[in-house]
Amino acid sequence: MTAFNRENLPDAVRTNGATPNPWWTNAVVYQIYPRSFQDTNGDGFGDLKGITSRLDYLADLGVDVLWLSPVYKSPQDDNGYDISDYQDIDPLFGTLDDMDELLAEAHKRGIKIVMDLVVNHTSDEHAWFEASKNPDDPHADWYWWRPARPGHEPGTPGAEPNQWGSYFGGSAWEYCPERGEYYLHQFSKKQPDLNWENPAVRRAVYDMMNWWLDRGIDGFRMDVITLISKRTDAAGRLPGEAGSELEDLPVGEEGYSNPNPFCADGPRQDEFLAEMRREVFEGRDGFMTVGEAPGITPERNEHITNPANKELDMLFLFDHMGEGEGRSKWELVPFRTPWLRGVLANQQAAVRNAGWASLFFCNHDQPRIVSRWGDDTSEEARVRSAKAFGLLLHMHRGTPYIYQGEELGMTNAHFTSLDQYRDLESINAFRQRVEEAKIQSAESMMASLELISRDNARTPMQWDASKYAGFTAPDAPVEPWIGVNPNHVGINAAAEFDDPDSVYAFYKRLIALRHDDPVVAAGDWTLIDADDPNVYAFTRSLESAPGVAGGTLLVAVNLSGRTVDLSAEAYALVDNGVTEHDIVISTYGASHAVVSLANRELDPWEGVVVRL
């Protein structure tokens, strides 16, 4: 494992409650979606050699950690989140030698590598699952197998063990003729859930994790790790199964019940995570763990990330990403600053005394934030709103995560037809809601996909203005696996790299602030102006200590496209006057910020950080 070329936070500064301070408390993580980052062999898919070729770009940006979405061997039903061999690289991305080269070259630059860990489920083509089809095999109980509902013919409608629906559409149960039973899959039918109740499953997972850490990786991002413990009755029956003591939820408008309340943050969640910590990470230094945490509250985040409990370093909470959604993910409402502020404030408050926060607006499962909550209808609005949301996120307390292209202000793809999409969730949702359940019109559903489909984040990285945005050669024999956003001609790394006013340059400054200023990295977070309809404002403060310069910062961001008044509480902190020297960073520039504050207003998408 590698060491950084920068200083960690001194122990005189309190971070998550651990001593010494973990290295990642003033780090910035950059997520790479390998199939869309850089193609070096012209097959239309990004690869490991492509990531290695772009390490200097990432080093210039200043990021400390690269999180790679799955590159393991996979049938690619869900773009690699369906793994058929955890200890091999899919030929789509290269070889184990390519992985070793990436590790070595990243470590030379002081950059750590974190791999995606997908162990709630495997591919149905994994050897474990193939063996599990035989009820006499030692792997027979490695997955959630159940017989058909009594009185029903196996494999016919209504014979499923309960009425749970998959998050990707349809039933969460798939019939397997070879075994004569159904298996549970919360996601695609090609992603059967592993049975973590079986100690042999957990042992195999821990052995695999140790194998990768011994090979040199620096940690794991753990996919839907809070779904591994299911709620069952005393006899091991799931809710809604015949004879179960646990009642299922009612069936919803799509024809299925929701498994999440019974699969998220289950009764053995803490036990499993603590066991993983002992079996994999005990005695190791320099690693980082972060878990994707559907169904986890801020209060539970404090417990799981509290170092005293020895579970995970960080979690991704998702309650704030529900902003803009109505009764379902696919029914949209306008953006509301107060709603977002309230949810993020709860997340910050929960880890005030112990634990740590993960800070993100974008990833491979979310649309581009500048299109979803910002404004990409003009170049000026795109740049301003991209900077505004970047400043807002990075000034919170926690570890920020940047998703590839976010530092450029990349936008949604704005696809206009269903055949342009590749995402399993999006395609299945259209078919189920429009064609089967008939609960949403095709026009409405296409508008929803344009705004929130996961494919919006998966279009190729925009490196330059050439035919395929520099993702692959202009004369490559095949087109990229998904369409390149046409606006890459104007929005690309080459155009922004040397532009001091670009979104890229702004992100470089945000990253440097977290490295260099302990107040940004670890200062207390206090919300102000809690009722303001447009301005999200808070302070960050840190007491000075030997070798540590403390102080207080005011952060105020106008999350709207119009000029608005600065509220009384924020203005009271700057009413004695502010000079350019006091401006730490601003989306418009220091001189403009001074004028805005003097006028007690913020221009459209204006954000400012003031040292008080």
CA angle 242, 246, 248 (to 5 degrees): 80
Beta strands in 60-108 (DSSP E): 65-68, 72-73, 85-89
523 token code pair: 């200062």
Q: Which of 166, 74, 63, 86 is nearest to 403 (CA)?
A: 63
* Backbone phi, psi, residue 542, to 5°: -145, 130
- For residue 369 the two structure tokens come to 């934030």
| Helix H or strand E encompassing 568 | helix 568-572
Edge-first strand order for the sheet with 551-558 is 524-528, 535-542, 551-558, 607-611, 583-586
90, 98, 292, 529: which one is catalytic?
292
Give catalytic status of residue 88 as yes or no.
Answer: no
Q: Is 498 exposed, middle or buried (0-12, 13-18, 19+ CB in 10 A)?
A: exposed
Residue with tokens 């603590």: 274
| β-bridge mates for residue 72, sequence order | 89
CA 63 – CA 9 distance, rounded (Å): 16
Q: Distance between CA atoms of 202 and 272, rounded to whole angstroms?
A: 8
- Residue 237: Cβ within 10 Å count: 17
Neighbours of 450 (CB within 10 A): 16
Can you say whether the dihedral through the CA atoms of 134, 135, 136, 137 is positive or negative?
positive
**Of the candidates 512, 516, 350, the residue with the CA atom closest to the CA atom of residue 10:** 516
By the 8 A CB rule, do 222 and 211 touch?
Answer: no
| 472: amino acid identity, one letter | T
**Known active-site residue 436:** no
Identity of residue 311:
E
Return d(Cα 571, Cα 590) in angstroms, integer.
17
Among residues 213, 219, 310, the alpha carbon closest in space to that of 27 is found at: 219
Helix and strand totals (H; E) in the chain: 18, 20
Closest CA to 316 of 114, 503, 142, 478: 114
Among the options 64, 90, 223, 375, which is catalytic?
Answer: 223
From CA 323, how far away is CA 536, in angstroms rounded? 15
Separation of alpha carbons 607 and 599, rounded Å:
15
CA proximity to 149, closest of 164, 165, 160, 163: 160
* Cα gap 437→209, rounded to integer Å: 42
Residues marked as catalytic: 223, 292
